[in-house]
Amino acid sequence: MSTITLEARAPARPLATAAKAGDDKAMLRAAAELTRDLVAPRPVLYWADMLASAVLGYAALIVAVVASSTALMLAAGVVAVLALYRAMSFIHEVSHMKHAAMRGFRNGWNAAVGVPMLIPSFMYEGVHTLHHAKTRYGTAEDPEYLPLALMKPWTLPLFVLVSALAPLGLLLRYGLLAPLSLVSRTLRRAVVERYSALAINPQFRRRAPEGEVKRYWDRVETAASLWALTLVALVATGVIPLRAFAIGFAIASLVAVTNQVRTLVAHLWENDGEPMSVTAQYLDSVNVPPPALLPMLWAPVGLRYHALHHLLPGLPYHALGEAHRRLSRALEAGSPFHKASYTGLPYLVGKIARSTVQAR
């Protein structure tokens, strides 16, 4: 998942030889054969995890708003950020799941998280799967890819910091642009194409939805717009104090920044725009497996196994840990599988930052 766009691109630089190589058939075969029994989602776990995260996040937000001390406000704020970030991360699972196998989950997630946080599921559904298309990954047609490692060093802090404005952008998108687009076809086209996807590629233009997808989109977008307008009205009339709104806005901004930092280290961002093999896509992606503990917080809901997810996009989040353990044991030390695992966030940020310097 991603929230902001950058316009600049640096000159292309070839990938390392290993990444340009063809597919490693032994790894792909092992990945398919060893995980066949892990593909079924566990609905009870999905519902319990998502709802518990949302309830904890909203409760902590309320505590932060009413707290009588700065220390309590800050502590509750941290809990709210981490819990709401985890709840919001389920949009990634929604974008991949077969809804027949998880009846009602998309609606439940939209009601509990997507609409209140102004990130309804349609902003990722039909978008994220393009990132997994073999012929699109890392190209100009990938909505979730920028060659950040090949860009200028100043783009990295900008990429992260501008995401703090995401809550404002979403409030404007649903509270202002969506209602106005009802009376302007030109504006509506722009809203659909440019402001209805969680993408980082500024060249990406979304196609207008059709059929049942459009009908569902319209229903959920209407709900999000009504909530955005209600929120603005409640703040304007003083029902929600300005201080409470500011605290909630700060928490939402920190959620967006946390997600953007996670996005920054989800890939190595070294592709120069050419189509890549599945193995090359895997090597350009990142796993941060145990024994590291902090990735449970900054890369929740299976996102710490992002490279493995690109190898097996159909696996539910709760199966990725077991899949990683099986493949780690089964594949020899020289397998490309082991080359996508890293120790943690500081190393990855440093690696990408060094790449931007070397690309100049």
DSSP annotation string for 92-148: HHHHHS-TTTSTTHHHHHIIIIITTTT--GGGTTTTHHHHT-TTTTTSTT-TT---G
Task: Kindly give, in sequence order, each residue whose CB lies less than 8 Å from that of residue 146, ignoring residues fewer than 6 positions away.
Answer: 6, 9, 200, 201, 269
**pLDDT (mean) for 46-57:** 98
- pLDDT one-digit tens code per residue, 53-65: 999 999 999 999 9
pLDDT number for residue 134: 87
pLDDT number for residue 16: 43
Q: Percent of the chain, pLDDT > 90?
A: 90
Angle between helices 70-96 and 242-264 (to 10 degrees): 50
| Nearest in space to 38 (alpha carbons), one of 334, 343, 348, 309 | 309
Task: Kindly give, in sequence order, each residue whose CB lies less than 8 Å from that of residue 165, ignoring residues fewer than 6 positions away.
Answer: 4, 253
Q: CA 126 to CA 198: how far, in whole Å?
A: 11
pLDDT number for residue 6: 41
Count of helices and strands (H, E) across the chain: 17, 0
What distances in angstroms separate CA 94 from CA 51, 85, 132, 223, one per listed residue?
14, 15, 15, 18
- pLDDT one-digit tens code per residue, 259-294: 999 999 999 999 988 899 999 999 999 999 999 999
Domain boundaries, the chain: 17-358
pLDDT reading at 242 higher than 50: yes
Q: What are phi and psi of 7, to 5 degrees?
A: -90, -35
Say what the pTM is: 0.93
Greater confidence (166 vs 18) lies with 166
- pLDDT one-digit tens code per residue, 81-105: 999 999 999 999 999 999 888 999 9
* pLDDT tier, 18 (very low <50, low <70, confident <90, very high otherwise): very low
pLDDT number for residue 194: 96
pLDDT number for residue 1: 53
pLDDT reading at 199 higher than 60: yes
pLDDT reading at 201 higher than 80: yes
Q: Which of 155-159, 225-229, 304-308, 355-359 is predicted with the least confidence, judged by mean pLDDT?
A: 355-359
- How far is Cα of residue 72 from the mean position of the Cα atoms in its chain? 29
Provide the greatest CA pair distance for the chain. Answer: 65
What's the whole-number average pLDDT of the chain?
93
> Which 8-state DSSP code applies to residue 11?
P
